[in-house]
Structure 1
Amino acid sequence: MQVEQIEQRLLEHFPSSEVAVNGDGSHFDVRVVSEAFAGLRAVKRQQLVYAAVNEWIRDGSLHAINIKALTPDEAQS
């Protein structure tokens, strides 16, 4: 699994968002800043991000993911 693949997938699911991915092949840290998260609790935000990469989690390509999902206002704080 490549960082670029995850970034591309997240940008497809969260257009006009800021996406940053760091990782080593199977473990990744993901930061998504999107208006789509406005008004949502942290668990729902993570569920949305997981949904974008779920096929890779199921097939074992992506073993572990640490998610930080923020609104633009939260990212500036």
Structure 2
Amino acid sequence: MTLTEVQAKLEAGIQHSTVTMEGDGCNCSTLVVSPIFEGMSLLARQKMVLAAVRTEIDSGELHALSIKARTPAEV
């Protein structure tokens, strides 16, 4: 799975998001910025990001994903 594919999945799964990716296809890190995270705990934010790529993680297509999830005000 390419970084572009992961980015597209995250952008489709999280409303009004801007996604930045680093790493290789199976081990990568992401910064997801979205106003939808406003008022959410860090854990809830991470769960939302992981839910967007759960199928790929469960299949092993995406091995590891380091997540930073921020609101626009936090960037």
TM-score (norm 1): 0.92
* SS of match in other structure, 1:50: helix
User: 1:74 is matched with which residue?
Assistant: 74
* SS of match in other structure, 1:15: coil
Distance 2:15 2:54 in 1: 18
Matched length: 75
* SS of match in other structure, 2:22: strand
1:4-58 deviations in whole A, cap 9, x for unaligned? 1011111111232211011212101010000110000000000000000000000
AA in 2 matched with 1:44: A
Unpaired stretches in structure 1, ≥5 consecutive residues: none
Unpaired stretches in structure 2, ≥5 consecutive residues: none
User: 2:19 is matched with which residue?
Assistant: 19
In the alignment, is the contact (CA less than 8 A) between 2:16 and 2:36 conserved in 1? no
Alignment RMSD, CA only?
0.8
Instruction: State percent identity of aligned pairs.
Output: 39
Of 20-29 and 63-72, the range deviating more from structure 2: 20-29
* SS of match in other structure, 1:68: strand
Distance 1:23 1:56 in 2: 16
TM-score (norm 2): 0.94
